[in-house]
Amino acid sequence: MIEQDIQADRDYVRSDDAQLVEWAKDDSAAFGELYTRYVRKIYNYVYYRTGNHYDAEDLTSRVFFRALAHIDHYTDRGVPFSAWLYRIAHNLVANWHRDRDRQKMVPLEEQIAIGTGSDAPDSVSESRDEEERLLRSIRELPEDRQQLLILKFVERLSNAEIGAIMNRTEGAIKSLYHRTLLSLRGDLEGKENASPERRRGRFGL
């Protein structure tokens, strides 16, 4: 009854994350609102790192189970609450990959239209073979660069938000992004016969 009275006085939907986190330490409804806000984003992140829905659903559930179990010890250090969730997800996915002794990413044909300047799917006119070459090049990148591309082009996060998740400065993220695009462009130039204009248009370089 007491908890119901407390919940009746709280506006979960309009409250910010910091307030919800404080409430969630002894209020399941507050944690439920945090779950609603971020479950799709965390699922998408996990899915593009694992490549299948079954494992993505399982790992997403584990992310929020772990978050619930440790939220009493959560401390606001000036970064978004979502960054904490992404770090939990990153660690679980890293363990998942180590357990299977492989690195795999789901095809990103539609989602990773890097630098096209348009969100419309029909703006991506590259052939299937060219897309496969792009994906192979992405999979060959170090893990942190793969993570950067997913957060930027699938999750649509800003450099500052990505920096909070990856525990780097915004400037470091910009530098890593630039190096990643240069690396991809250089790799693709050695693999494909597409014109320089098409490659430059795709990667925004």
Closest to 141 measured CA to CA, from 116, 161, 114: 114
pLDDT at 101: 59
* CA gap 204, 115 in Å, rounded: 4
pLDDT at 117: 45
> Which domain CATH number covers 165?
1.10.10.10
| Domain contains 180 | yes
Count of Cβ atoms closer than 10 Å to residue 183 Cβ: 15
> Which domain CATH number covers 84?
1.10.1740.10
Domain count, the chain: 2
| Domain contains 151 | yes
| Domain contains 9 | no
Judge if 69 and 141 occupy the same domain: no
| Domain contains 6 | no
Judge if 56 and 102 occupy the same domain: yes
Domain range for residue 143?
Answer: 111-205
| Domain contains 4 | no
| Domain contains 30 | yes
Closest to 162 measured CA to CA, from 145, 141, 180, 181: 145
| Domain contains 1 | no
Judge if 146 and 83 occupy the same domain: no
Judge if 86 and 159 occupy the same domain: no
What does the pLDDT profile of the chain (205 residues) look like in tens digits?
555 556 667 889 899 999 999 999 999 999 999 999 999 999 999 988 888 899 999 999 999 999 999 999 998 888 889 999 999 999 999 899 888 755 445 545 444 544 444 444 444 444 566 666 776 777 778 888 888 988 888 788 899 999 999 989 999 999 999 998 888 787 777 765 544 554 455 445 4
Judge if 154 and 101 occupy the same domain: no
The residue from 106, 134, 155 where one domain ends is 106
* CA gap 104, 64 in Å, rounded: 23
Judge if 48 and 61 occupy the same domain: yes
The residue from 72, 91, 106 where one domain ends is 106
Judge if 29 and 55 occupy the same domain: yes
Cβ–Cβ under 8 Å, residues 93 and 50: yes
Cβ–Cβ under 8 Å, residues 73 and 120: no
Judge if 82 and 140 occupy the same domain: no
pLDDT at 125: 43
For residue 73, what are the contacts with CB-CB under 8 A and spacing of at least 6? Answer: none
| Domain contains 102 | yes
